């Protein structure tokens, strides 16, 4: 707490915030996003949806558009559902007890503790990656932090360490300490005021703690997007499947299961049905790294229309209107200046 008062220089727009709606927005954004990147989205989100009611009343597509680029779009979908539930069940007022907050969709123990302590000064300890790291190193705990047993152990320890009289300050202090001093790589141990009592520092184990489970194997996927151009318009479709990018738009997609087919699209059976003279160009490959997937993409630019069966699920939009629809980052990489100019040509 002394470090937080005298030495913590980390400035973030949501610190000292007491409005539970704004705290909730910041915490959901930060679930899978670095704080430095999250600042821009935090301001952008609140400028568009300044209140819980505005969020609840907004079309989901508008929320996705503001969220565009953050990834993990189920966070935005859950926020929309939760906002509507609060409007219906709590008359638009954010619930003020931990159990009610925890019952809301998309809110787990960490987020519930953060909102409870920061907005309502309730004595609940937050346990995020920064807290795991500080506690593991300081106390010398080698339990796997992302295991069920490890989560229970660290949650109990964090609660024991909490300053119940000032939970908001303590929680902010330990998270900032982990982010700026007890960092994942190259922790600033020489200036750390806890080093004399820190197990990891005294035993030269800062590089070994905390202990995480082995990473899952990254799955590679290969997407070929058919970019149909017809009378100044381009065909797009909405992703409905329970897969990545659900409820975002894309160009009609062919997914191939081999890198060789991705590198040589002319060998793909579906593309053989498109006459060669109707294929204008093939874009350079792009890629997007997701948590457990690495997705590669190419655009196959075509003249004319697809077959009648495929057209049923397509929407034709003007090239200039593409910017108003929410697309995954991979497709934004495809839609570079060169492609936009090509599509705009008559």
- Mean per-residue pLDDT, 42-48: 96
Q: What kind of fold does domain 1-121 have according to CATH?
A: Endonuclease III; domain 1 (1.10.340)
Each domain of the chain, given as residue ranges in start order, spans 1-121, 125-166+181-214, 219-344
Intrachain domains 1-121 and 125-166+181-214 with the same fold: no
- Contact (CB, 8 A) for 326 and 248: yes
More confident residue, 7 or 98: 98
Tokens representing residue 131 in the block: 């807290």
**Who contacts 210 (Cβ-Cβ below 8 Å, separation ≥6)?**
132, 133, 136, 137, 141, 145
pLDDT digits (tens, 9 = 90+) for 114-163: 999 999 999 999 999 999 999 999 999 999 999 999 999 999 999 999 99
Residue 269 has pLDDT above 90, yes or no: no
Active site members: 27
Structure token digits, residue 215: 């990473």
**Class of the domain covering 219-344:** alpha beta
Q: Mark 309-330 as b/e (b = at least 16 C-beta within 10 Å).
A: eeeeebeeeebeebeebbbbbb
Angle at 222 between CA 275 and CA 41, to 5 degrees: 115
Cis before 167 (ω within 30) = no
- Domain 125-166+181-214 has what CATH class? mainly alpha
Which residue in this structure is represented by tokens 């093939």? 282
Nearby residues of 310 by Cβ (< 8 Å), 6 or more positions away? 252
pLDDT value at position 8? 79
């Amino acid at each position: 707490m002394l470090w937080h008062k005298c030495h913590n220089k980390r400035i973030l727009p949501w610190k000292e915030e007491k409005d539970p709606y704004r705290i909730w927005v910041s915490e959901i954004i930060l679930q899978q996003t670095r704080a430095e990147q999250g600042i821009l989205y935090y301001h952008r989100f609140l400028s568009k949806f300044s209140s819980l009611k505005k969020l609840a009343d907004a079309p989901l597509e508008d929320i996705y558009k503001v969220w565009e680029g953050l990834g993990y779009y189920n966070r935005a979908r859950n926020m929309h559902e939760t906002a509507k539930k609060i409007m219906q069940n709590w008359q638009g007022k954010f619930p003020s007890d931990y159990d009610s907050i925890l019952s809301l969709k998309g809110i787990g123990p960490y987020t519930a503790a953060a909102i409870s302590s920061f907005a309502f000064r309730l004595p609940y300890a937050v346990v995020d990656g920064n807290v795991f790291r500080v506690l593991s190193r300081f106390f010398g705990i080698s339990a796997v932090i992302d295991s069920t047993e490890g989560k229970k152990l660290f949650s109990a320890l964090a609660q024991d360490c909490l300053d119940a009289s000032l939970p908001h300050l303590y929680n902010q202090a330990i998270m900032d300490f982990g982010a700026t001093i007890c960092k994942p790589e190259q922790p600033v141990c020489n200036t750390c005021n806890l080093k004399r009592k820190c197990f990891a520092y005294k035993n030269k184990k800062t590089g070994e703690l905390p202990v995480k489970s082995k990473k899952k194997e990254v799955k590679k996927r290969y997407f070929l997007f058919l970019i149909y151009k017809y009378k100044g318009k381009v065909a797009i479709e909405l992703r409905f499947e329970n897969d990545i990018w659900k409820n975002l738009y894309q160009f009609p997609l062919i997914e191939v299961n081999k890198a060789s087919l991705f590198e040589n699209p002319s060998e793909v059976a579906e593309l053989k049905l498109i006459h060669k003279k109707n294929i204008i160009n093939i874009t350079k490959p792009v890629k997007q790294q997701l948590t457990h997937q690495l997705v590669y993409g190419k655009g196959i630019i075509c003249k004319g229309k697809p077959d009648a069966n495929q057209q049923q699920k397509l929407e034709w939009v003007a090239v200039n209107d593409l910017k108003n629809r929410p697309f995954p980052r991979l497709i934004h990489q495809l839609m570079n200046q060169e492609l936009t100019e090509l599509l705009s040509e008559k």
